[in-house]
Amino acid sequence: MPVSGLLLTLSTEEHVAAEVVRRLQSRREILLGELQQQWLPVAVDGCDERHSREVHDWIVKLPGVVFVDVVSVHFEDGEQTSSPHALTDCKAA
């Protein structure tokens, strides 16, 4: 189960950035850090490589996301991850 660390650069328009944050919060496989000016650290706890790529592509296409830096990718061994935000049933994702 890959866990990706991303750094998002968001629009400098506050209402646009707020909408990005709201949409990201709707996904349980995404954990948000603290917004610092226009930068938002994000962790994505994917079911597998395909799912992680789909989430990444979804984030990139969000209106108000200017750029996505991939900071790290960690591949967990086994089927369970220690993250409380992980999907419990990856087959349903």
Domain count, the chain: 1
pLDDT along the chain (93 residues), means of 10: 94 97 97 97 94 96 97 74 51 51
pLDDT in the model for residue 19: 98
Any domain includes 35: yes
Is 54 within a domain? yes
The residue range of the domain holding 41 is 2-76
* Residue 69 within any structural domain of the chain: yes
- The whole-number pLDDT of residue 88 equals 45
Q: What is the pLDDT of residue 77?
A: 65
Length of the chain: 93
52: in domain: yes
Q: Which residues contact 50 (CB under 8 A, 6 or more apart)?
A: none
Judge whether 87 lies within some domain: no
Q: So what's the pLDDT on residue 93?
A: 45
Task: Please tell me the pTM assigned to this model.
Answer: 0.81
Residue 84: inside a domain, yes or no?
no
Amino acid 1: pLDDT: 82
Question: Helices in 1-93 by DSSP H: which ranges?
Answer: 14-25, 49-61
The CATH number given to whatever domain includes residue 20 is 3.30.70.920
According to the model, what pLDDT value does residue 75 have? 83
Whether 83 maps to a domain, the answer reads no
